[in-house]
Amino acid sequence: MSGAAIAVAAPSRRGWRQRLTGATPYLLLAPGLLWLVVFFIWPTIQMFLMSLSSGSLDDGFKLTWSIDAYQTAFGKFPKQMGNSLLYGGLATIFDFLIGFPVAYTVAFRGGRYKNLLLFLVIAPFFTSFLIRTISWKTLLGDEGPVLGFLKHALGVVPADFTVIGTPIAVVAGLTYNFLPFMILPLYVALEKIDPRLIEAANDLYANRWAAFRRVTFPLALPGVFAGSILTFIPALGDYVNATLLGNPQTQMIGNVIQGRFLVQNDYPVAAALSFILMAAILIAVTIYARLLGTEQLTG
Amino acid sequence: MATATAEGVITRASAPNRIGRAVEHWALPAVTAVAMIYLLIPIVVMIIFSFNDYQGKFNFIWHGFTLYGWLHPLDWPGLPNSLTNSLLIAFVSTVVATVLGTLIGLSLTRYQFRARGAINGLIFLPMATPEIVLGSSLLTLFVSTALPPLNGIVPRGSLFPLGLTTILIAHVMFNISYVVVTVKARLAGFDRHLEEAAMDLGANEWTTFWRVTFPLIFPGVMAAALLAFSLSIDDFVITNFVSGTTNTFPIWVWGIIKNALPVQINVVGSIVFLSAVAFVALTTLRSGRAARIR
């Protein structure tokens, strides 16, 4: 360091300034990255160590490298893990089935209403996630606007019919809450497509369906990828919908993690479950990226 | 196929085309309309039920119209305090995350250095991690500083007592990535010749940044800040893990709905929604007018 300083001592002011300029990118990065390392990377490592520890909150935890927590996690909660995969997967599929036509319509047929339609898509974000879910509870309630009407005014539904507390309500809530996350990336991908490509396909005797299947859809795949992981990841870890709209049988892995951490203080098992969830997502995203062949498009 | 006559090709192509046109003209708009209703119905329900003269503790069933909720919007124990906390946390975490994230965005878009790929990955990871994992790992850190490497050095839980500080730390953490991504998107189309021109005209780097670069990226920074603010004020899952006994608005709502559903929840939700809509409408009108002048 000092040797280098002496070597460039002749044009001294310039040398310092240049060296500072060379360090600029790192100086700009440092504070933000430090925050992420201390409050994202380090906690993740801590959680991993916690999952291999034993003890209790009162007596303190000791790192024993035991895998008991993982055995408990896999042994006791297969039902909740299955629920998470099933409900999260279903919500993602429903969101795709609803979201793709919507994104397609806004991108290609939105015309001068495009911005208004996009605004309507993100409007739910202006309301708290919890309040929206409570709204669904009101809406789907046994005597709520929908069922109350069907039961008493029309009489087409038996009086003891109920939606709240069933898997249907949980999946409906998940589908609703994450739908904008599906529509927006799909819209961005579809909007980018050069309409001349579709015209070219039509000129080459592709009918609408063939042009869609062979040109539009493949070009929209990055959006499909981004949209489905943005929907699937939060849906998989969610516990708000399962708590508010479900019953004890519809609990998801998030409910268990939440309960173990905040109610039972069973940190090792909760940490193991969190880690399993993270690993499952990483594996799922990797396989999915391979299948779609879009891994180079996500970076 | 190859031997089909020209007429054969035309008739075969036109039947799917007719269906395709019908789908494009009728089915797609219909699906979109239904989806929009699906997206907006809970908000409409929230607003309508803010006028409900409900009986008992739970505002679930319609009983009649009243303005009571709107005349007493904060009349519930703990509500004003949780709202103040929410606004304070959202404001501070937005400012900190926007500054840190903008610096990272600047560094990543305008400098070439070796670790860029790894840093992009590090920025992406928190967004790809479920909130529950982010929250629970932070809680593990905050309460268990007694695990290696700090065991024996720091008494357990003393480094980060749960409360406003830990909520702020968490909100800044999850907001940084969103700010970086938003600012990077704005910087992608940035014309660096403008900066060179300023330097050629004798401006130093500091002046160039504040007089040329910053005004040009300001809309991106503003968009990032708004996103950060709305993510922070609405966050429930992560906050629930690190809040201890401190209430933010979502935490307060979560705590109260087990025993009651006061109309004030709907009123506050409606006020937030309507002011956000008004804000967006105003900025759109203003930018529309600016574009027309230009």
Picking from A102, A145, A240, the nearest residue to B236 by CB comes out as A240
Between the CA of residue B219 and those of A26, A37, A129, B102, B223, what are the distances in Å?
A: 25, 28, 27, 12, 6
Nearest CA in chain B to A176: B39
What interface predicted TM-score (ipTM) does this complex get? 0.83
Greater model confidence, A270 or B160: A270
Between the CA of residue A265 and those of A56, A99, B102, what are the distances in Å?
A: 8, 40, 38
Residue A134 and residue B257: Cβ atoms within 8 Å? yes
Burial grade of B22 (CB within 10 A; 0-12, 13-18, 19 or more): exposed
Confidence label for A19 from pLDDT (cuts 50, 70 and 90): low
pLDDT at A41: 92
Domain boundaries, chain B: 78-246
Picking from B20, B138, B180, the nearest residue to A39 by CB comes out as B138
Picking from B60, B107, B250, the nearest residue to A25 by CB comes out as B107
Structure tokens at B38: 């699906």
Q: How far apart are CA B257 and CA A79, in angstroms?
A: 27
Residue B130 and residue A234: Cβ atoms within 8 Å? yes
Q: Could you report the per-residue pLDDT of A38-70, keeping only the tens digit for each?
A: 899 989 988 888 888 887 777 777 778 888 889
Q: Which residues of A touch B146 (CB under 8 A)?
A: 60-61
Print burial letters for A155-185: b (CB count within 10 Å at least 16), e (below 16).
eebeeeebbbbbbebbbbbbbbbbbbbbbbb
Residue B234 and residue A125: Cβ atoms within 8 Å? yes
pLDDT at A103: 94
Residue B130 and residue A136: Cβ atoms within 8 Å? no
Residue B32 and residue A278: Cβ atoms within 8 Å? no
Nearest CA in chain B to A126: B273
Residue A25 and residue B113: Cβ atoms within 8 Å? yes
Residue A176 and residue B38: Cβ atoms within 8 Å? yes
Element (H, E) at A142: none
Nearest of A184, A197, A176, A92 to residue A134 by alpha carbon:
A176
Nearest of B245, B129, B151, B132 to residue A50 by alpha carbon:
B151
For residue A127, the number of C-alpha atoms closer than 13 Å in the C-beta half-sphere is 27
Contact B242, B170 (CB under 8 A): yes
pLDDT at B145: 58
Picking from B28, B59, B269, the nearest residue to A105 by CB comes out as B28
Type of residue found at B229: F
- Domain architecture of chain A: domains with CATH: 2-51 (no CATH), 68-298 (1.10.3720.10)
Type of residue found at B136: S
Q: Which residues of B touch A46 (CB under 8 A)?
A: 137, 140-141, 144, 147
What is the overall mean pLDDT for chain A? 84
DSSP result, A12-26 = HHHHHHHHHHHHHHH
CATH number of B78-246: 1.10.3720.10
Residue A134 and residue B261: Cβ atoms within 8 Å? yes
Chain A: nearest CA to B253, how far in angstroms? 8
A-proximal residues of B, 15-54, CB under 8 Å? 16-17, 19-21, 23-24, 27-29, 31-32, 35-36, 38-43, 45-46, 49
Note down pLDDT in tens along chain B; length 294 residues: 444 444 444 444 466 667 777 777 888 889 999 999 999 999 998 998 889 888 777 777 777 888 888 988 888 888 999 999 999 999 999 999 999 999 999 888 888 777 888 888 889 889 888 999 999 999 888 876 555 556 556 666 666 778 899 999 999 999 999 999 989 888 877 788 888 888 889 888 888 888 888 888 888 899 899 889 989 998 999 999 998 888 999 999 998 888 888 888 999 999 999 998 898 888 878 776 665 554
pLDDT at A18: 66
Picking from A44, A61, A254, the nearest residue to B137 by CB comes out as A44
Structure tokens at B21: 């046109």
Q: How far apart are CA A239 and CA A254, in angstroms?
A: 5
Helices A68-76, A267-292: crossing angle, 10 deg rounding: 70
Contact A220, A186 (CB under 8 A): yes
Picking from A35, A98, A125, the nearest residue to B172 by CB comes out as A35
Confidence label for A9 from pLDDT (cuts 50, 70 and 90): very low
Type of residue found at B260: A
Residue A105 and residue B39: Cβ atoms within 8 Å? no
How many CB atoms within 10 Å of residue B236?
Answer: 20
Type of residue found at B29: P
